[in-house]
């Protein structure tokens, strides 16, 4: 099992291009199931989750031609509508195949998905919403079985929570349904916009994606399309936070800062020194970073996927900070490991209390999930001495070989078996 050895008191210089988004790529890859025509995708990130999704799609019979960060997918000759545990257990995003498979086959059977241990992420909201399109579900022996009663029929769907996954699942099922579907209280994340734009390029009729009300007019079939995946706003935010922590001039490029507005405004309140342009952000050294109180929320609120990373910054800030985690109930597993590195963080229910004014000191730590693991990397870059981050397979799910992609800009990070 791989581990990262990180030399502390790191340097950082230059500029980095942000790759394509993991959270946009996975549902867009799944969208290929809806069409019998070619879907050509560019700016696909080289991540373990993407590799796992490709294997899952190939198990259904999708033909995939891969060339660097370009993929051509064709789902004309689907041969299977069952997703086994071994293919699904690694990714929560696997639940998103349910809507497209039911739209194509009228029945499907998938294993209950796995993924990070950051919360329960109940699938009830997916099943209840898809049920309103005319699908009956049964859960038995660890599998979800779905059957379309007669045909998919558009409907008004009121989500009890703006779930990203449920919004994506309903959109993909509804584009081949008969009639009109309206999703109320829909998720507004930029990745939802990206999925909608890709589907529209394939011939779907979706409006309102990116707002809390999405309208979908069903179509009979989709056509050939080419689409370029959006940048990864969580990777971008991670590297912005790294530069603020290391306190060096650094530029994060190939982004749309408007999708990082909550992070930008939070850092400005913390007295970070940022230059925000149309397609990049330059971080300049700051005199002093101060503590702040924040809470995570659905977009456009502060993203839960940046909670662990900004907590690492708060440990070094002048004065106390708090983070209230309102999305996932078990997303503070990195706290004990940050404390091993010298932080002073206490948890009370859904709130973390961070003391601040701490100097990280290198130690052995253990990654528990994707974003927790990168927070430990950030802390290690600023620590005195050497930090070893174990179980970095979590990290590889969302960051492309960080020892290379970030390591060429100053940090000394080595990967060992």
On whether both 245 and 189 belong to a single domain, the answer is no
* 251 and 222, same domain (yes or no): no
Q: What's the confidence (pLDDT) of residue 262? A: 98
pLDDT per residue as tens, the chain (417 positions): 899 999 999 999 999 999 999 999 999 999 999 999 999 999 999 999 999 999 999 999 999 999 888 999 999 999 999 998 888 877 778 999 999 999 999 999 998 875 444 444 578 999 999 999 999 999 998 899 999 989 999 999 999 999 999 999 999 999 999 999 999 999 999 999 999 999 999 999 999 999 999 999 999 999 999 999 999 999 999 999 999 999 999 999 999 999 999 999 999 999 999 999 999 999 999 999 999 999 999 999 999 999 999 999 999 999 999 999 999 877 899 999 999 999 999 999 999 999 999 999 999 999 988 888 999 999 999 999 999 999 999 899 999 999 999 999 999 999 998
Both 262 and 407 in one domain: the answer is yes
Residues 290 and 216 in one domain: no
Last residue of a domain, one of 195, 228, 261: 228
Alpha carbons 151 and 148: distance in angstroms, whole number = 6
Please give the tally of structural domains in the chain.
2
Q: What is this structure's pTM?
A: 0.95
- 151 lies in the same domain as 52: yes
CB atoms within 10 A of CB 320: 16
The last residue of one of the domains, among 165, 198, 228, is 228
Shared domain for 238 and 180, answered yes or no, is: no
pLDDT of residue 114: 59
> Domain check: are 339 and 235 in the same one?
yes
Do 295 and 347 reside in the same domain of the chain? yes
- Of 228, 256, 290, which closes a domain? 228
- Cβ neighbors of 70 (< 8 A, separation 6 or more) are 40, 41, 42, 44
| Pair 69, 14 in one domain | no
Q: What is the distance between the alpha carbons of residues 23 and 19, in angstroms, rounded to a whole number?
A: 12
Q: Do 265 and 179 fall into the same domain?
A: no
Q: What is the pLDDT of residue 92?
A: 77
Are residues 110 and 213 both part of a single domain?
yes
CATH of the domain at 286: 3.65.10.10
pLDDT value, residue 118: 40
Query: CA nearest 266: which of 239, 241, 236, 249?
Result: 241
Report the C-alpha gap between 278 and 327 in whole angstroms. 30
Query: Do 174 and 214 sit in the same domain of this protein?
Result: yes
The residue segments making up the domain with residue 348 are: 3-19+231-416
Cβ contact 387:363 at 8 Å: yes
pLDDT at res. 121: 53
Which residues are known to be catalytic? 116
Q: Could you write out the three-class secondary structure of the chain?
A: CCEEEEECCCCCCCEEECCECHHHHHHHHHHHHHCCCEEEEECCCCCHHHHHHHHHHHHHCCEEEEECCEEEEECCCCCCCEECHHHHCCCHHHHHHHHHHHHHHCEEEEECCCCCCCCCCCCHHHHHHHHCCCEEEEEECCEEEEEECCCCECCEEECCCCCHHHHHHHHHHHCCCECEEEEECCCCCHHHHHHHHHHHHCCCEEECECECEEEEECCCCCCCEEEECCECHHHHHHHHHHHHHHCCCEEEECCCHHHHHHHHHHHHHCCCEEEECCCEEEEECCCCCECCEEEECCCCCECHHHHHHHHHHHHHCECCEEEECCCCCCCCCCHHHHHHCCCCEEEECCEEEECCCCCCECCEEECCCHHHHHHHHHHHHHCECEEEEECCHHHHCCCCCHHHHCHHHCCCEEEEC
């Amino acid at each position: 099992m791989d581990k990262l050895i990180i030399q502390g008191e790191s340097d950082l210089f230059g500029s980095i291009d942000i790759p394509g988004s993991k959270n946009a790529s996975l549902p867009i890859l799944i969208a290929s199931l809806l069409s019998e025509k070619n879907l050509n995708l560019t700016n696909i990130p080289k991540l373990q989750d993407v590799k796992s999704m490709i294997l899952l799609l190939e198990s259904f019979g999708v033909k995939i031609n891969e060339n660097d960060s370009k993929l051509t997918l064709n789902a004309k000759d689907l041969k299977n509508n069952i997703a086994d545990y071994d293919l699904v257990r690694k990714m929560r995003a696997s639940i998103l195949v349910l809507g497209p498979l039911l739209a194509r086959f009228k029945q499907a059977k998938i294993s209950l998905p796995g993924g990070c241990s950051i919360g329960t992420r109940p699938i009830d909201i997916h099943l209840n919403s898809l049920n309103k399109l005319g699908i009956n579900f049964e859960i038995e022996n660890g599998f979800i079985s779905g059957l379309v009663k007669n045909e998919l029929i558009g409907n008004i769907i009121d989500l009890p929570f703006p779930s990203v996954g449920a919004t994506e699942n309903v959109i993909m099922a509804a584009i081949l349904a008969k009639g009109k579907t309206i999703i109320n209280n829909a998720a507004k994340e930029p990745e939802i916009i990206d999925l909608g734009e890709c589907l529209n390029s394939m011939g779907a009729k979706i409006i309102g994606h990116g707002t809390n009300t999405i309208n979908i007019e069903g179509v009979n079939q989709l056509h050939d399309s080419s689409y370029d995946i959006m940048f990864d706003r969580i990777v971008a935010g991670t590297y912005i936070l790294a530069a603020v922590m290391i306190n060096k001039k650094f530029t994060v490029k190939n982004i749309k800062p408007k999708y990082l507005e909550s992070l930008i405004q939070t850092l400005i309140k913390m007295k970070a020194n940022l230059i925000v342009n149309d397609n990049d952000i330059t971080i300049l050294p700051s005199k002093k970073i101060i503590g702040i109180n924040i809470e995570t929320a659905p977009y456009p609120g502060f993203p839960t996927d940046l909670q662990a990373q900004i907590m690492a910054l708060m440990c070094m800030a002048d004065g106390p900070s708090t983070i209230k985690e309102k999305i996932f109930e078990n997303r503070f597993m990195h706290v004990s490991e940050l404390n091993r590195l010298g932080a002073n963080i206490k948890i009370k229910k859904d709130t973390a209390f961070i003391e601040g004014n701490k100097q990280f000191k290198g130690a052995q730590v253990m990654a528990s999930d994707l974003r927790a693991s990168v927070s430990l990397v950030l802390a290690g870059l600023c620590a005195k001495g050497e930090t070893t981050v174990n179980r970095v397979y979590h990290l590889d799910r969302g960051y492309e070989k960080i020892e290379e992609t970030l390591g060429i800009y100053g940090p000394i990070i080595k990967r060992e078996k």
